[in-house]
Amino acid sequence: MLFDNTLGGLLAVASLVMGILVLTGHGGFFFKGIGESQRKLEYDMEKYTRASGIALLIFSVLTGIDCFTTALWEKIAYLVLIIATFVLYMLYIQKKCKK
């Protein structure tokens, strides 16, 4: 139980820091890698990074809350909200961030 809370807390803090870095414009190094030039041609990078930062902040809040929950329905609700956030993030990227 303690390990679950510690690991969840670390993940929440890490995604919070990453989300803040991305939202403030200092997290560009998170987007480096394969397909970077293609991504810059295809997407409006300002909207893309803003959406990514907001998604990371939502993941952080949900994971932080999950550290303090114990009931099965709360764990299921956490998974549903994480999946819903991811799906909405991907839909937003595909629909609103294309040039």
Could you give the number of structural domains in the chain? 1
CA dihedral sign, ordered 90, 92, 67, 24: positive
Instruction: Give pTM, 2 decimals.
Output: 0.86
Residue 34 belongs to domain spanning: 2-96
Give dist(CA 31, CA 41) in Å, integer: 14
Segment 71-92, tens digit of pLDDT: 999 999 999 999 999 999 999 9
More confident residue, 35 or 70: 70
Segment 28-41, tens digit of pLDDT: 788 777 677 888 88
Which residues are bridge partners to 98 per DSSP? 43
Specify the pLDDT at position 51: 93
DSSP string, 30-96: GG-STTHHHHHHHB-HHHHHHHHHHHHHHHHHHHHHHTT--SHHHHHHHHHHHHHHHHHHHHHHHHH
